[in-house]
Amino acid sequence: MKPSGVSVIIPLHERCDPLGPLYKEYLDPLRAAGLDPEFLFVAAPSHAAQANEADVLRKSGEPVRVLRLAQPTGPAMLTRVGAIEAKNDLLLVLPAYRRIEAQYLPGLVERVHQGADAAFAARVGRREPLSNRARRWLFHSLARPVTRNRFHDLGCGVAALRRDALLETPIYGDFFRFLPTLMQREGFEVVELPAQQHPGDVGVRFYGPAAYLRAAVDLLGSYFLARFTERPLRFFGLIGLLLGGIGAILLVILLVQRIGGVGIANRPALLLGTLFLALGIQSIALGLVAEIIVHLSAPTRRPYRLARLDSADSNDSPG
């Protein structure tokens, strides 16, 4: 028989819609689909008011738990705390504001029941201003080659997941937006299901330059983590070779000129060449230290994940 319990994790940070109506909107289709949900509102310290709002639901006898974190933290940690505290093996992570029509939630849960490790919603029929669309297009166009995945809506944040798959995926800080990519990287089966965008999700949102900077840095970070965690020298070595190469070329040119009788004591190019060469050496040296750490920590980690057990396989063997 299919397990019907599902733990709904709603991190409370940044934007929050009024929680009473939102809770009802999420709850009804889940119950209608025969699921028995428990709701976990996990609140950042800055969102005490919203936590109190959720507490009202709990006191009125609803299947709600409210977790308040003492330390300021991002959505990744809030979700992780929710997953640790969850009573069910199947999780539904939802934002504290409307993203998709709630009747699509049981479909996500069903897909995980069918065997996927995670089912992420991708908003379809999106009505959004041109500026939002352009921004989203730019982000996904940049993210695609970097993450080597074809997810269409990394910003949606609505997903049904297996609890252990989420807990085994290393997420922290703002990397939460790359959760589908990171889970796939860990070897989990991740699918994307279309879901109708909620009318409340439509609208122009303005983000400061800091948000764009954070997204760019996260993209670079996820690129590094995905490609070079086990081979950092290839990343730092390439940067080092480029920088050091420019520096070396500049210095060789100056050396040739000096041999030809041209003075170099007053040539800023000498300083520039030295600076580039030093930066190149720094980068390569950093890569080497990273390699030492990777090498020394090799016995403590496994560079692969076994597929989920099948009766015909021997994955349960020693190791």
Partner 1 sequence: MKSSSNDDLNRPRLSVVVPLYNEEGSVERLVQAVQEALGPKQDWELVLVDDGSRDSTVARARSAVAQDSRVRLVRLARNYGQTPAMQAGFASARGNVIVTMDGDLQNDPADIPRLVARLDEGYDLVAGYRERRQDVWLTRRFPSMIANWLIRKATGVPIRDNGCSLKAFRRPVVERLHLYSDLHRFIPAVAAATAGARITEMPVRHHARRFGQSKYGLSRIAKVMADLMVIVMIRSFRGRPLHLFAGAALVALLFSLAALVAEVIAVAAFRPVKAEALVFPSVAIVWFGLAVYLLILGLMAEGAVRRYGRRVAGEIPLAREAA
Q: Which residues bind partner 1 (CB under 8 A)?
A: 184, 186-188, 230-231, 233-234, 237, 264-268, 270-271, 274-275, 278, 281-282, 285-286, 288-289, 291-300, 302-308, 310, 312-315, 317-319
Enter the tokens of residue 127.
């009505």
Smallest distance, Å, CB 264 to partner 1? 8
Q: Which is nearer to partner 1, 78 or 161 (CB)?
A: 161
Smallest distance, Å, CB 141 to partner 1? 24
Q: What are phi and psi of 8, to 5 degrees?
A: -95, 115
Smallest distance, Å, CB 262 to partner 1? 14
Smallest distance, Å, CB 248 to partner 1? 13
CB atoms within 10 A of CB 39: 25
Smallest distance, Å, CB 281 to partner 1? 6
Do 47 and 13 contact (CB within 8 A), yes or no? Answer: yes
Do 100 and 201 contact (CB within 8 A), yes or no? Answer: yes
Q: Which is nearer to partner 1, 2 or 305 (CB)?
A: 305
DSSP string, 79-142: HHHHHHH-SSSEEEE--SS--B-GGGHHHHHHHHHTT-SEEEEEEES----HHHHHHHHHHHHH
Rounded to whole angstroms, the Cα distance separating 38 from 5 reads: 8
Smallest distance, Å, CB 263 to partner 1? 8
The number of CA neighbours under 13 Å toward the Cβ of 207 is 13
What torsion, rounded to 10 degrees, do the Cα atoms 274, 275, 277, 282 define?
A: 140
Please provide the size of the chain in residues: 319
Rounded to whole angstroms, the Cα distance separating 5 from 63 reads: 12
